[in-house]
Amino acid sequence: MTDQWFFEIGDGQTYGPFTMEKLRKWAAAGNLMPTHRVRRADSQEWTIAAYVPGLEITTADTTVARVADDDEDETRSKLGGIVAALSRKKGKVADSQDTDVVALCDELMEIAFERNASDIHIDPEENITLVQLRVDGVLETLRKLPKTIHNAIISRYKVLAKMDIAERRMAQDGRFFQCLGPQQRRIHIRAATLPTTHGERLTMRLLAVQTEQLTLSRLGMSEMATRTFAQYTAQKQGMILLSGPTGAGKSTTLYAALRHRMANHPGRFITVEDPVEFDIVGVAQIEVDSADKVSFDSVLRNILRSDPDVIMIGEIRDAASADVAIKAALTGHLVFSSIHTNSAAGVITRLIDMGLEPFQVAATVRLCIAQRLARKLCPECRKPRRLTAAEAAAVGRPDAANSTVYEPKGCPKCNGRGYKGRVGLFELLPIDEDLARKIVESGNEGDITRLAREKKIPGLRDDAAAKLIGGMTSFDEIIAVSAW
């Protein structure tokens, strides 16, 4: 008889073959559950792991699994029934919660999707497993699960994300997709584990949840900003750069820009991303781990040879990627990218700090955009009030003192949060001749900003104030998300 084994955990896939020793190692680590099915490579017969001779499963539940003291059919393969049976005997998995781990994991995904969550966090605590969702940038608790099923849940997602389920002491990452919602939308999920003293934490990011928002008009840009943006995305060459902190929605805007350009000026499009967050039909998307600098730079150089019209680089992180981006922009390509700075003018300074010459920057950068995301007030329950003179001054609009603004209240429509969805706050800084000259002369962020304000180019704060006065968001929210 062979020492090669397959196993399955109820997701319709078979894993293996592995040696018994490997299976034992997984079992000892708590990753192979008593309820998983195992078969010898030379047999078609599946057996519940708990009943496989020699496979000592040492998780807490095993002892129970081995007490096959009643008339339960050993060949029974329904996970749910068995886990439930285990739980009943053990008395640890309280209440009548869905204890089928696979179904539970699927259900968590469905709920996250339904609530338009961007992230799912599964955190082990001392006695429970805490499941939280990030919705509109804010964490909320979804479930508190019995700690006894923590490992099973984590293992389920680790298998989906093709991680090594036996490795639980090192951080890992992976990705998978699931079809979610009534329309069975294909959602990409990036998963990362982190070992902690109470067990493994798992963070999953739902990457394509907001695809339907990927149009310029839905980003929340003012009409004037949309026109400017559309005009610049139609250019033949140069760079359009987005700035803002992590989580400010930069990639959403980049994708929207790309889609707008594709719809109006078809051509060859290539993206280099880390990771690919949304699938765009008609675009060659290359996923590069930007921590791997060698491959990132070489991929960037290679794509120039494949003659694209438009290149999107997920993020300019260092001198090497800045150098390739600027070369592309100087040689007849339109380059979209993002850069980690706080202000539109800061993009210029950052590129110069990375070692680019001010004249190169002035010659290639066409449009700098600063972006933040603010939570949108729930239109069903927002509460009107007067803006005080002090608040009006704080948002740079003393003229708006006494005008009606709104604050959050909370109703069933918004799950009591008072907010629903988010809106982008934008500053668009087109680099015209005057600004280009200023960049060459000084390149200083303060000088560039001053000139922009003299030219009456609205700043981030102006857009935030407009969205406050327009009733879209609250005073507290724009103060919280904006660095004045």
**Residues of the shown chain interacting with Zn ion in the complex, contacts defined by CB under 5 A:** 378, 380-381, 411, 413-414
Judged by beta carbon, residue 248 or residue 381, the one nearer Zn ion is: 381
DSSP string, 214-276: -SGGGGT--HHHHHHHHHHHT-SSEEEEEE--TTSSHHHHHHHHHHHHHHHS---EEEEESS-
**Residue 294, amino acid:** V
Shortest Å distance, C-beta 421 to Zn ion: 11
Shortest Å distance, C-beta 414 to Zn ion: 3
Long-range own/partner contacts, residues 257-266 (CB < 8 A, 24 or more apart): 257/216, 257/229, 257/233, 257/336, 258/283, 258/310, 258/312, 258/336, 259/214, 259/215, 260/215, 260/216, 260/229, 260/230, 260/233, 261/233, 261/234, 261/310, 261/334, 264/230, 264/233, 264/234, 265/234, 265/309
Shortest Å distance, C-beta 375 to Zn ion: 12
Judged by beta carbon, residue 344 or residue 414, the one nearer Zn ion is: 414
Shortest Å distance, C-beta 407 to Zn ion: 12
Write out the two tokens for 207: 């990457």
Shortest-Cβ-distance residue relative to Zn ion: 378
Shortest Å distance, C-beta 182 to Zn ion: 23
Judged by beta carbon, residue 78 or residue 383, the one nearer Zn ion is: 383
Shortest Å distance, C-beta 466 to Zn ion: 22
Judged by beta carbon, residue 259 or residue 417, the one nearer Zn ion is: 417
Judged by beta carbon, residue 114 or residue 380, the one nearer Zn ion is: 380
Neighbouring residues of 191: CB distance < 8 A, sequence distance ≥ 6: 157, 158, 160, 161, 163, 173, 174, 175, 176, 202, 203, 204, 205
**Residue 7, amino acid:** F
Beta carbons of 440 and 360 less than 8 angstroms apart:
no
Judged by beta carbon, residue 192 or residue 411, the one nearer Zn ion is: 411
Beta carbons of 469 and 452 less than 8 angstroms apart:
no
Q: Which of 162, 148, 134, 165 is nearest to 60 (CA)?
A: 148
Beta carbons of 39 and 45 less than 8 angstroms apart:
yes
Whose tokens are 């592995």? That residue is 18
Count of Cβ atoms closer than 10 Å to residue 323 Cβ: 18
Shortest Å distance, C-beta 222 to Zn ion: 25
Judged by beta carbon, residue 217 or residue 404, the one nearer Zn ion is: 404
Shortest Å distance, C-beta 136 to Zn ion: 12
Judged by beta carbon, residue 348 or residue 378, the one nearer Zn ion is: 378
Shortest Å distance, C-beta 117 to Zn ion: 18
Judged by beta carbon, residue 153 or residue 378, the one nearer Zn ion is: 378
